[in-house]
Amino acid sequence: MISVDWTLGLQFLNFAVLLFILNKILYKPLQKIITQRRETIQSSQLRAKDLQVEIDNKMQHYQQQLQDAKSVANDERNKLKKSGVEQEAALLAEAHHKAADRLLQIKEKVHREAGDASQKLKDEVDSLAGQIASKILGRDVA
């Protein structure tokens, strides 16, 4: 059974002294360390958020630069394609012109040679006809 006497007061005094000593030696430094860690963690989290925002901004800037570079490259490629198509068309037109001129020259040459051959044949027709008639008749035809 608990008796109420002077030891109870001593126990309260002992408890108060112990609480005071523990508060000074253990609880306050521990609270200070916990507070410092909490502040460090919060500042680290804020710094991480700031870094994330900075990284996002840099990524966005990088993406924009990349998009701009792709756009410039596409424009340049389209210009080169257009230039290539124009050069191809010019070369084909020139080749077509040369082929048409060459064809015309060949037709003129063939026409000339056909005319010359026709003239030669006409010239030889009379002599051949005379030769054939003399062979058939067996005598000279005048």
Domain boundaries, the chain: 11-105
Measured CA to CA, the distance from residue 23 to residue 15 in angstroms comes to: 12
Band of the pLDDT at 135, cuts 50, 70, 90? confident
Non-local (6+) Cβ contacts of 133 within 8 A are 141
> Which 3 state secondary structure label does DSSP give 1?
coil
Q: What is the mean pLDDT of residues 112-131?
A: 84
pLDDT value of position 142: 61
Buried b (16+ CB within 10 A) or exposed e, 80-109: eeeeeeeeeeeeeeeeeeeeeeeeeeeeee
pLDDT value of position 61: 97
Write out the E strands in the chain: none
pLDDT in tens, 17-70: 999 999 999 999 999 999 999 999 999 999 999 999 999 999 999 999 999 999
- Which pTM does this prediction carry? 0.48
